[in-house]
Structure formats: C-alpha cells, structure tokens
Amino acid sequence: MPRWNAAGLLEPTSLTDAAALRLVVRPVCRCGHSMTFDPHGLWWHFHKRGWDDRLPQIKSRFWCICCLAQWRRKVRPIRIEAINAPSAAVLLPMPPDHEWKRQSRALR
C-alpha cells in the first residue's frame, strides 16, 4: 500500500503502487545518469519473473549502462525515484488487460 509522506502526498512503496498512481520509475546512478521506465511494463516484467517489486529491493535488478560501457562493470543505482513525468524513455511490453485488472482489484 502507498504511504503518506510528510508533505501529505501519496508515496509508492512498490512498482504496483507506482503503476496504480501512474508515476514513472527512475533509477539514478552515482555518476548522475538516470533513465525513466513506464511503471506498467516494468511491473509486468517483474511480475512475470516472480521478482520482489518493492522499491528498495528493485535496485538490485538495475545497473547503469554508461558505467558498464566505461568501467566494464555493473554499477547499481544509488536510489529509485517515482516521479510524475509526462512520458517514459523505456517502454516495456504492457501487461494483458485481465492481469492488470486483477492486480488493480487486489489494491482496493
């Protein structure tokens, strides 16, 4: 379930919450590079694989492509942000309608 932050706004705690609130997910690397992901496709990607979709746990599934190209090693992001952005740079395949409707019913 999303939680209320100090400013009185809903703050997602998982990819499911981010998708329900329509917030774009952005991992940020220590080098400053970041990429935005569509929350629905990202949720489906994690759900199909049975991965934990809580925001603190998903950092282990990302790495910076700029650091990989420069240093030849995977560098994990320092933080994961859920932001209100008009569009995402990375669009993964969307979940089937019946799967997303089942998940959104479970959130109520």
- Residue-by-residue pLDDT tens, the chain, 108 positions: 677 777 777 889 999 999 999 999 999 999 999 999 999 999 999 999 999 999 999 999 999 999 999 999 999 999 999 999 988 999 999 999 999 889 888 876
Of all helices (H) and strands (E), which one includes residue 80?
Answer: strand 79-83
Which residues does residue 90 pair with via DSSP β-bridges, in sequence order? 37
Segments making up each domain of the chain, as ranges: 3-92
With beta carbons less than 8 A apart as the criterion, state whether 26 and 80 touch: yes
The pTM for the full model equals: 0.86
Tokens 């590079």 sit at which residue? 33
> Distance (Å, rounded) from C-alpha 27 to C-alpha 48?
20
β-bridge mates for residue 4, sequence order? 10
Farthest CA pair distance, the chain: 45
For residue 21, what are its two tokens?
């609130």
